[in-house]
Amino acid sequence: MATFQFNLVSPEKLLLSGPVDQVDVPGSEGDFGVLAGHAPFVATLRPGILTVHREGGSMRIVVSGGFAEVSDAGLTVLADIAVPVEDVSRESFAGFVQEAEEAAAKAPEGVQRDKLSLRAAQLKELQATLAT
Amino acid sequence: MASLKDMRVRIAATKATQKITKAMQMVAASKLRRAQAAAEAARPYAEHMDTVLRSIAASVAGLDSAPALLRGTGSDRVHLLLVCTAERGLCGPFNSAIVRLVRDYTNKLMAEGKEVKIFCVGKKGYEQLRRQYERNIIEHIELRSVRTIGFTNAEAIAHKITDLYEKGAFDVCTLFFSRFKSVIAQIPTGQQIIPPVFEANGNGGAAASYEYEPDEEEILAELLPRNLAVQIFRALLENNASFYGAQMSAMDNATRNAGEMIRKQTLTYNRTRQAMITKELIEIISGAEAL
Q: What is the ipTM of this complex?
A: 0.76
Q: Which of B225, B224, B217, B212 is nearest to B65 (CA)?
A: B217
Q: What is the mean pLDDT of residues B279-290?
A: 94
Residues 156 to 215 of B: which have CB under 8 A from any A CB?
Answer: 207, 209-214
Residue B149 located in a structural domain: yes
Q: Are A87 and A59 in contact (CB under 8 A)?
A: no
**Structural domain for B71, as ranges:** 35-199+212-251
pLDDT band at B203 (very low <50, low <70, confident <90, very high): very low
At residue A88, φ and ψ (nearest 5 deg) are -75, 125
A 10 A CB-CB count for A64 gives: 21
Residue B2 located in a structural domain: no
Partners of B229 on chain A (C-beta within 8 Å) are: 11
Residue A121 to residue A127: CA distance in whole angstroms: 10
Q: What is the mean pLDDT of residues B204-211?
A: 58
Residues 216 to 235 of B: which have CB under 8 A from any A CB?
Answer: 218-219, 222-223, 229-230, 233
Contact between B52 and A76 using a beta-carbon 8 Å cutoff? yes
pLDDT above 90 for B106: yes
CATH number of the domain that B230 lies in? 3.40.1380.10
Query: How many domains, in total, are found in chain B?
Result: 1
Residue B225 to residue B17: CA distance in whole angstroms: 47
Residue B50 located in a structural domain: yes
What's residue B64's pLDDT? 65
Helix (H) or strand (E) holding A5: strand A4-9
The alpha carbons of chain B give a radius of gyration, in whole angstroms, of 28
For chains A and B, count residue pairs whose Cβ atoms are closer than 8 Å: 74
Q: Are B80 and B174 in contact (CB under 8 A)?
A: yes
Interface of A with B (CB under 8 A): 7, 9-14, 27-29, 39-44, 67, 69, 71, 76, 78, 80
Residue A100 to residue A118: CA distance in whole angstroms: 10
Residue B181 located in a structural domain: yes
pLDDT above 70 for A20: yes
User: A5 to chain B, minimum CA–CA distance in Å?
Assistant: 14
A 10 A CB-CB count for B237 gives: 28
Residue A37 to residue A4: CA distance in whole angstroms: 8
At residue B215, φ and ψ (nearest 5 deg) are -70, 170
